Structure formats: C-alpha cells, structure tokens
Structure 1
Amino acid sequence: MPLFKCTFLGCLCPGVRRHGSCSLCNSHLCAKHLGQDFHRCPDWRVNEREYWLKSKEAEIAEITALLSKVNLRALRDRAAALRKVDCTVTPSYDHQSRPSVMGGMNYHIPIYFVDGVTWIYRIRRRNMTTTPLAHQNRLILSEAATYKFLSSRTQIPVPKVHDYSIDSPSNPVGVGYILMDKLEGKPLSNCDFKKAGKERILSQLADVFADLKQHPFNEICCLLDPDDLSVGPVLDESTIDADENGNLLLLGPFKSALEYRTSSIKHQIDLILRGESYTNNAIDAYLVHRFILDSVIESITQNEQGPFFLKHMDDKGDHILVDDEFRIVGIIDWEWAQTTTQSEAFAAPLYLLDVGLYYSGSNKLNPKEVEFASILKKRGEVGLAEHVYGGRVAHRLAHCVGADSGDIEDLPNHFMGLLRAVFPGRNEGETWEQWREGAMMMYEKDEDLQNLIQRCSK
C-alpha cells in the first residue's frame, strides 16, 4: 500500500513521495497528476516570486492551524512546574522571526522564565509534506533518546531535554513535543571561516568524532526509548512504508551492514516500481539501484562487520551552533540520527565538502576534508582519518540510494562518482551514457525493467 494516495478526484494511484506532496494546494499527487495539465501551483523554477508568495500564504495557514492545537496554558503550567519558576509562553511567526523559530521540519515556541532562562517547545510541522503521525511520534521519542544518550554518556555539547511527549489523548498540551534548553549561537553554515576559526572548528569536530568512537553499538538502528535507551528500527523517511491497512512499516534494526544496505536498496526498487519515487527518471534509477544491489554492495560492505556508531544524518552545518569565537555551543537537530557503519559514521560531514565540485561528480577531497583528516591523524586517530580520506564511497552511496532530488542530472553524477570510488581505475573513462547502454543490455530480460519501460512510454 502506498504511504500516500493521490488526492486527485477519482485517482487510485500512489502519490509520489517527497516531490508529489504539495503544501500550496494541500495535495498528494501521482506522477500523472503532477504534470502541468493537472497541477497548476507555481513552479519556483519558472515563477519564483509567485511561488514564494503562495508558499508564504500556505505557511501562515499551516502555523496558524498548528498553534490552534497547542494548549498554551497547559504548556506554560508544565514548564513552570518542571523548573518551579514562573514563565511566559509567547508564540511568534513573522518574516523577521521565522529563521529563529522554524526550520524545515520543526517549529519552536520560546518559553521565557522570570529568572532569565529560556527553553524551547519543539514541535513537528504539519503539512502535506510531513510523514504520518505514527512516524512523527517515533521521531520525537528517538530524538529525545538520542539527546539523553549524548548528554549522559558523551562530552558532546547538546541542549538538555527537560520533558517530551508524543501526540496522544493523554498529552494535555495537545501536540507532541520536546522541551529543551535554548542554546545561544549561530549556525556554522552561516559563518565565514577565518583561518583560526576553521582550525578551531575542525579541532572540536575531531573531539566529537573521537567521543562517538568510544560508544559502539551492535546493530544499525535508531534509539527508541528515552527511558531505557533501547534501540529500534531505522526512521529515515526513505525507509518507511505502510501495509494494506495503512499501518506504518519500518526497516531494522540490522545486525550487519550487508543486511541493512540490501534491505534499503530493495525497498527503493519497490518504490520505483510502484511509482512512488524517482518518477522523473524511473528507468535510470531502477538500473542504478539494481546494479548497486547486484554488483557493488558486497564490495562496499565486505569489511563492515561492525560495531556501528551514532551519526548525525543531516550534517550540512546548520546543526552546529557556534559563538563569535568559533567555539561550538551545541549540536542540535538529532531527529534522524541513527547508528551506521564506521565508514559512513566517520566520513567527513557534508559541510566540509566542496558542494559544486562534489555534485559535478568529482571525488576530489576539499582541502578542509584533508585538513580534518590530518588533525585526526596527528591525534593518533589513524582509523578515523582513513574514514575521512575514503569518505566518498559513503557520501556517494547515500546520494544514490533513495535520495530522489528531483534533478535528473544528480543521479548519473553521483553514481559514476560511486563507481570510481569503489572501483578506482576500472573503466575510468566510461561515461554515464556508455554505462547506461551496457546496463540496459545486462537487464534486457528483466521483467520489472520491461514493465517499467512500458509504463514510462505511455
């Protein structure tokens, strides 16, 4: 059963995940009804001004509806009771305050205590692009558990969690939440590195890697319960599904890297065949995922027998808050965190990559990656340094499997980069077009591919 059904009147097809969910018109749309003949919402690539105007209107309506579900008095009373200090709760949303109260997935209400302390009430946003409530509840529990793990067992700076609750009738506040300290600082991604600042950041990042290395896990998983820090399934959006009754289906935990990778790839192939993913380039995506499954994944995982380590899965730089002296104040937004292989957990964070070079298909390391690896090596963390030097395999794999960006040029670049990283020197001059032609011949008798070709030709 699809995670979302197309909401176009009379349509029985599955809605396209990610790109088929439109918060402007509150629709889940299939590949057909995403077309301009049916879906008339403005495209930011064609009319950016109209798109942002409509987006602003939709966002105001979304936040207004979300706040109407929050019992502000119950929230205030809960926070005051926890600290035994009076407080005020003042939700805000406008153009100027937006960056400080809202991200892509969450909205934050500040709670001001009379003694000057500030907490935030962190709640999941709700629009057509968000996952089902059962998944959101699991994300709340997993994020709270991850913060508890980090604050109790590591020296990694994170905000303290004071309370949490899922969406349920017993929640007096009305909406699932995490209550945590508000950290002062600015996102690292907004900072202009100076030489001394870069060295300080990389040195602190080395501290984080070394700390995480001290806490191995036996499974690839997400933390499940804040009370006992038990583990459960992987919660990444690309891995979730629903059964015929609409119940949430999740993958994992996994005892081996091969089991994890194989299960994830097979799930993505199912989504491609069902028309829920990669609808702009379904044949290319099918060929890539099949080839990785058949010919690449064993080479990648053969030395990945465990243990496994916790990783922040959205490490673009806005998750790290720093002060004016480039000291890390805290690392936030751990909602997608999971344990994974050493090669993935300790590959360079994405914010160290040269984005333009990387997305062009080049595997050349950014000087910041090289410097980071050098810092680790000087500290005696030779193994961690090697994972940074060899991190392109993990980076490319993450962008090849299930990462449907909507840009049909991304997948060929990432895939050819993956082949060059996994099999250096083999078919070095091969182009995407040459590889694709060979793959079409390799799988010419594959029934799923033939059905996909027939469907795409209609």
Structure 2
Amino acid sequence: MSFNPSSSSDDSQPETDIAALTSTMHIGSIANLARNSYSRVIKETVPCMVNSKYIVGTDHIVWPIYFEDGAQWIIRIPQRDCSPLLEKNLQANIDVMNFIGAHTMIPLPRIYGYSTNVDNPLGRPYVFMQLMPGKLLWERWFDPEWFIERRRRTIFRSLAEYLCQLNRFELPALGTIQIDPISQVLSVGPILPTPESVDEEHASGTANKGPYFSVTKYFHNELTPKIKNEEDEILKADLISLRMFIRILVDPALDGPPFVLQRPDLHLQNILVDVEGNITGLIDWDGVCLSSPRQNGYAGYPSWITRDWDPL
C-alpha cells in the first residue's frame, strides 16, 4: 500500500494540534501495544517495527506497523480528544465493520484490537487494522500507460461485485445500526451526532435524532432547526425553499423502508487495486454505522465516474 508520510489531507486541522498529538505518541509504546495485540491473535510473540513517518488523514493519524513474520498493520488514532460521543461512534463503526467482514467477502481492513477510550497505554482511543495490499487507485487512474480499457472494466466489475454483497442486509429505519452480539440481528437506534457536529446539534436541540421511517421526515427534521436558528435572512430563505422541494426530490417509491447499509468513502485514495485492476482493499469506513436510503447506499455511483458531479 502506498502512503504519503507526514502529510495532511485536512487543511482545517491546525498543524500545532497535529504536532501536539503526535508528540505524545511514543513509537515504543505503540510497538509494545501492537506486539501484545498480535500475540493474542497468533498465540506467540513477534517483534515489530513502527514507521515513525505518520500519515495525517481527515480525522485520524495513522502509523504503519511491520511485523517480522510479514504481517502489516496500521494504528489509527482519532485527532479529536476523547469524549463519550466519540466512544459511541467508534464502537458503532467497529461493530458494523466487523459484521460486514464476517458476513461478506468485501476486502475491508480486519480489526485486530482497539480501545474507544483513554484507559490504555497510549492515553488515547486507537484501532489496530490490517494494512491492505495493493496500490491506491488515484495513483493508477491517471496513468495513461496503465489505464487501458481492460483494466478499467476490471475495476468496475470488481467494485460492483463487492458492493453488491451489501444488498442482502435490509434495515427498518434510518439511524445508527445496532447488532445483537448473539443472534447478529440488525436493528436501528437514534442517529448519533458526529463529534464535529455535536455542539451545533445540542445547541439546536437535534442531538439523538430518529430513528426515522421516512427519508422525507428525516430531511424535514434536519432542515427545520437549521431554519429556526439561521440568522442570515438569505440563507434562511434558501433553506425554506429547499424544505418545500423535499417531497419532489425524494422518490415516493424509495421514501420508506427497507433501508440499506452505507458503502465506504469511495474516493480514489480509499480504493486499492492490483496490477490488473482487481480491487484488493476498500478503506475508510467511517460513518458506516448509519443506515442509508436505498438511492444513496451501497449502490451509489462513486463521484469520480460521474462527470456531471465532478467535471474536473
């Protein structure tokens, strides 16, 4: 897998915050924790090396980890400080990722260990994941020598075959997916606000929303408090107009259940392929714990093949 070490894809995150976080992360502590986690998996101790060149993503900082027996992991550490809401979001996403990994052949990263709180040697939440094989698609897609028709078709076929495996799971409502640990039956609870939106949503009284049994109802409830709290009259008028068009925008045949699982963030940098274009890994499953309308779920087109959405 290719990395862009010590680089950031999120200009909104101050460099001082990144520096402060990474300065508290000791490579030796990460290595000890990874070694102990791996020993619980294979029942023996294998030395490892942590790459000191970290990768900065939108919400996480990542360190690659290499074991002497050839196993390769990453550790993902959230940039945001720990909070009860962050703990719930992390656990919900981990549960759904593990469920998808156990019930499909989709090549998503296997989770080897995690902590959703600060009660661990690192003092921050973390997740150990498999480092997926292959090369990032964005490194292949614009290479005219590699990107021939046969490989283009292989990419689309491979991606469609994997994502279609999510069609076997249906949900009764829009909300946070809950999984019974014994029966593995899926149910849906209220929508957890993201850590980024929690202050806004608590201020507007929209925290812990749902579950919703209608897409129209969901959009209506999303827009109403925003209209109420918007001070700019022009923006408020735009939001009111948008609310008026909800019933036109939503296909009545797709307004209610069943709802479906989300797909991962299908950005070119989150898809890994082999030399022939077969998908070897789909990464960045953040937000997969929320159920989705059918028209916006696993069957949605990636933005990089819809030129009307992404003309450049």
Residue 341 of structure 1: aligned partner: 293
Equivalent residue letter for 1:153: H
Helix, strand or coil: the match of 2:80?
coil
1:350 aligns with 2:309: no
How do 1:31-430 residues align onto structure 2 when only pairs under 5 Å count? Answer: 55=15, 59-67=18-26, 72-94=31-53, 98=54, 101-126=55-80, 133-169=83-119, 171-192=120-141, 193-224=147-178, 227=181, 231-235=188-192, 237=194, 240-241=198-199, 243=202, 249-270=207-228, 272-273=230-231, 282-293=232-243, 295-301=244-250, 302-303=252-253, 304-312=255-263, 314-337=265-288, 338-345=290-297, 346-354=299-307, 357-358=308-309
CA separation of 1:318 and 1:270: change in aligned 2, threshold 3 A: farther
1:146·1:226 contact (CA, 8 Å) conserved in 2? no
User: Which has the greater radius of gyration?
Assistant: 1
Deviates more, 1:206-215 or 1:219-228: 219-228
Helix, strand or coil: the match of 2:216?
helix
CA separation of 1:248 and 1:299: change in aligned 2, threshold 3 A: closer
More helix by share: 1
Could you state the TM-score of these two structures normalised by the residue count of structure 1? 0.55
Helix, strand or coil: the match of 2:157?
helix
Helix, strand or coil: the match of 1:212?
helix
**1:147-187 CA deviation, whole Å, 9 max, x = no partner?**
11211222222122222221143x45432222221111222
CA separation of 1:317 and 1:272: change in aligned 2, threshold 3 A: farther
**1:297-343 CA deviation, whole Å, 9 max, x = no partner?**
12233322121111236322222111121111121111112221111
Which runs of no fewer than 5 residues in structure 2 stay unpaired? Answer: 1-9, 142-146
Helix, strand or coil: the match of 2:91?
helix
Which runs of no fewer than 5 residues in structure 1 stay unpaired? Answer: 1-18, 25-54, 274-281, 361-365, 367-458
CA separation of 1:188 and 1:66: change in aligned 2, threshold 3 A: same
Residue 370 of structure 1: aligned partner: none
Q: What is the aligned length?
A: 288
Distance 1:342 1:272 in 2: 30
Q: For the aligned residues, what is the CA RMSD?
A: 3.3
Distance 1:137 1:250 in 2: 15
**1:173-224 CA deviation, whole Å, 9 max, x = no partner?**
4322222211112222332232112111111222134222221111112334
Distance 1:220 1:257 in 2: 8
Could you state the TM-score of these two structures normalised by the residue count of structure 2? 0.78
Residue 6 of structure 1: aligned partner: none
- The sequence identity of aligned pairs, in percent, is 22
